[in-house]
Amino acid sequence: MAGEKNKEKLILDSAISLFTSKGFQATRMEDVAKQAGISKGLSYFYFKNKEDLFMALTKKAFDQFKEEFRDIYRSKGKSGLEMLSELVVRITEFARNNQVLYDSIINFLDLMKKYNDPETRNYINPLILESNHFLKLLEIHHEPAKIGIMMVSQGIKDGSIRPELQPEITFYTIWSMIIGYEKMRGPIGYEGKEIKIHQDNWQPGFLKLMQEMLKGTIQASRPTTVQTSLF
């Protein structure tokens, strides 16, 4: 059993390396087998096809992603708001250091949009739907979010997050902001842009805005009404 797990890990690690350097479409199962130093036939013993392999990689990504959430939530002496602030930094670092794994998570979230709609589910590659790893992902992909929701609940309890917020809605809103933040790192980092923002000031600004939203310190001011006359 230990030997099989080692082989699975070796194949997954090889796939991650090749998907990073060549991309998913350009990588073949025989490429993965060669990189892993095993026969092509043996690679098919562990993973039925490349789609099954990618779903296994995606499950690995969610497992590691969950550990990032869990590690933050278990840290002592931090308020819920501090946990969420650290989560922004950790997710960004996770994406930077594990781009293929992070991209597989985002790809799965997009896949779920098609899967949840009976009209678009038929457009999903059948090899993905047949993967046992895909079925496992359907069961476990909510687990990081559940921990994030507990962070919000903790913040409401300890007073660092305003009490009228609903934990589930609040977390998924914050997560969508983080996903957008990560996706926009490329355009923001593009040289020659004319907008007055860059990586050095964007993350602190993003964190400050998120914190103020959650604490409720942002107050809208109504424009002053000025009485005027046409004559």
The tens digit of pLDDT for each residue in 36-81 reads 999 999 999 999 999 999 999 999 999 999 999 999 999 999 999 9
What is the fold of 49-186+201-214? Tetracycline Repressor; domain 2 (1.10.357)
Task: Determine the residue type at 88.
Answer: V
Task: Extract the tokens encoding 147.
Answer: 């921990």
Q: How far apart are CA 151 and CA 72, in angstroms?
A: 9
DSSP 11: H
* End-to-end CA separation in angstroms for the chain: 90
Place of tokens 């690679």: 43
CATH number of 1-47: 1.10.10.60
pLDDT at 21: 92
Q: How far apart are CA 84 and CA 90, in angstroms?
A: 10
Question: What would the mean pLDDT of 82-102 be, rounded to a whole number?
Answer: 95
pTM for the model: 0.86
Q: What residues does each domain of the chain span?
A: 1-47, 49-186+201-214
Distance of CA 54 to the CA centre of its chain: 16
157's CB contacts (< 8 A; 6+ apart) are 80
Question: What would the mean pLDDT of 153-179 be, rounded to a whole number?
Answer: 96
pLDDT at 188: 77
pLDDT at 195: 66
Place of tokens 């099989």: 4
155 close to 81: Cβ distance less than 8 angstroms = yes
DSSP 130: T
